[in-house]
């Protein structure tokens, strides 16, 4: 008994999260993502000037006065990059949350009822998967009309099916698992088993997908803005800033710095998602625990 208790305590000490913290990529991802969130929250305090004010000489190269230079209209690029985070991050978070919710509900319904309902719902996800995401998002955004809100809506339209597929697959496989059968044999109804035994095992993978998708959403949003379907001038949005920069290649700083912002945020969320996947996957989690034993 005492030796067992000791063994249990030893195992409990090496819990899951610290294993992830020991990975350098996870730390890098977390630090960068956290830094961007801080920048977005405190943008007015951090930014040296108004992102919309055309109050400086146009097209100045980076200097101590303007670390990232000024754009063709005399706006401070650093301030615009900082304020740009207030557009991309919250919208990406909101649209991923909405897409994950819609997709998870659709997937859970399909996996729970199976048969005809499953067929209808999964064929509709196939319909979305049949198109490249950026093309479909462009079409939807173009139909809805220009603007950030419509661009976000278009991304939700292309993003939800992957959640539906993952959740459906998990509900099907976990639903047939022996521990769900055991719960059913003990007198749990199908719905009760779904809530108590199936869904907790589904949340982890959905969370991982959502983190990885955050990077995709920021990229898609910037892409749509780059194409002129998302944020409209003079709003400071990274994608549209890159688009402006492409017209003035001799002034490299106009497009490069917002591009770097997109790059770091996307990379950070990809790192985070990858390490979260290791944490939630029981096999890789166990390997991490064993390797430091």
Region 137-196 residues binding other proteins, contact defined as CB under 8 A: 177-192, 196
Region 263-282 residues binding other proteins, contact defined as CB under 8 A: 282
- CA–CA separation, 107 and 124 (whole Å): 11
Say what the alpha-carbon torsion angle 158, 161, 166, 170 is, to the nearest 10 degrees. 160
1 interacts with other proteins by CB under 8 A: yes
Tell me whether residue 174 or residue 268 sits nearer to other proteins (CB atom). 174
DSSP state of 177: S
Tell me whether residue 55 or residue 182 sits nearer to other proteins (CB atom). 182
Q: Write the interaction track for other proteins spanning residues 231-270; mark x where CB under 8 A is met and - where it is not.
A: ----------------------------------------
SS3 190: helix
- CA–CA separation, 258 and 19 (whole Å): 34
We find the least distance from the C-beta atom of residue 293 to other proteins, in angstroms, to be 14
8 interacts with other proteins by CB under 8 A: yes
We find the least distance from the C-beta atom of residue 182 to other proteins, in angstroms, to be 6
Number of neighbours of residue 55 by Cβ within 10 angstroms: 11
Tell me whether residue 15 or residue 61 sits nearer to other proteins (CB atom). 15
We find the least distance from the C-beta atom of residue 195 to other proteins, in angstroms, to be 12
We find the least distance from the C-beta atom of residue 164 to other proteins, in angstroms, to be 21
Sequence-distant (6+) residues with CB within 8 A of 98 are 156
- The residue with tokens 């939807």 is 140
Q: Which of 161, 210, 170 is nearest to 194 (CA)?
A: 170
Tell me whether residue 15 or residue 55 sits nearer to other proteins (CB atom). 15
Tell me whether residue 7 or residue 48 sits nearer to other proteins (CB atom). 7
DSSP state of 234: T
Which own/partner pairs from 279-282 qualify as long-range (CB within 8 Å, at least 24 positions apart)?
A: 279/16, 279/17, 279/19, 279/20, 280/204, 280/205, 280/207, 280/208
Query: Count of residues binding other proteins (CB under 8 A)?
Result: 28
Tell me whether residue 198 or residue 221 sits nearer to other proteins (CB atom). 198
286 interacts with other proteins by CB under 8 A: yes
Region 72-131 residues binding other proteins, contact defined as CB under 8 A: none
Asked if 86 and 43 count as a contact pair (C-beta separation under 8 A), the reply is yes
Of the candidate spans 4-12, 155-163, 207-215, 261-269, the one that interacts with other proteins by CB under 8 A turns out to be: 4-12
**Angstrom distances, CA of residue 79 to CA of 49, 177, 195, 241:** 6, 54, 47, 12
Q: Write the interaction track for other proteins spanning residues 199-228; mark x where CB under 8 A is met and - where it is not.
A: -xx---------------------------
Tell me whether residue 76 or residue 278 sits nearer to other proteins (CB atom). 278
For the chain, give the longest Cα–Cα distance.
77
- CA–CA separation, 129 and 166 (whole Å): 13
Tell me whether residue 5 or residue 64 sits nearer to other proteins (CB atom). 5
We find the least distance from the C-beta atom of residue 280 to other proteins, in angstroms, to be 11
- CA–CA separation, 260 and 253 (whole Å): 10
Residues in contact with other proteins by CB under 8 A are 1, 4-5, 8, 11-12, 177-192, 196-197, 200-201, 282, 286
């Amino acid at each position: 008994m005492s030796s067992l208790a000791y063994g249990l305590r030893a195992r409990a000490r090496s819990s899951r999260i610290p294993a992830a913290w020991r990975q350098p990529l996870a730390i890098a991802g977390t630090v960068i993502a956290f830094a961007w969130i801080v920048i977005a929250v405190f943008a007015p305090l951090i930014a040296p000037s108004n992102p919309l004010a055309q109050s400086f000489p146009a097209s100045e190269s980076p200097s101590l006065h303007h670390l990232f230079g000024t754009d063709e209209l005399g706006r401070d690029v650093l301030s615009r990059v900082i304020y740009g985070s207030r557009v991309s991050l919250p919208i990406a978070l909101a649209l991923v949350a909405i897409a994950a919710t819609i997709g998870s509900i659709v997937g859970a319904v399909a996996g729970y009822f199976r048969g005809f309902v499953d067929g209808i719902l999964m064929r509709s996800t196939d319909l979305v998967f049949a198109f490249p995401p950026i093309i479909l998002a462009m079409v939807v955004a173009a139909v809805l009309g220009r603007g950030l809100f419509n661009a976000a809506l278009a991304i939700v339209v292309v993003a939800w099916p992957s959640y539906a597929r993952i959740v459906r697959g998990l509900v099907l496989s976990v639903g047939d698992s022996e521990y769900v059968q055991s719960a059913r044999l003990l007198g749990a109804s199908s719905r009760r088993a779904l809530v108590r035994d199936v869904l907790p095992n589904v949340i982890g993978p959905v969370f991982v997908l959502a983190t990885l998708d955050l990077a995709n959403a920021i990229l898609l949003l910037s892409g749509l803005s780059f194409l002129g379907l998302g944020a409209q001038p003079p709003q400071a949005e990274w994608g549209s800033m890159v688009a402006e920069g492409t017209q003035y290649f001799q002034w490299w700083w106009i497009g490069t710095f917002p591009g770097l912002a997109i790059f770091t945020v996307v990379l950070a969320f990809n790192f985070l998602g990858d390490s979260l996947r290791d944490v939630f996957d029981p096999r890789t989690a166990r390997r991490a625990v064993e390797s430091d034993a």
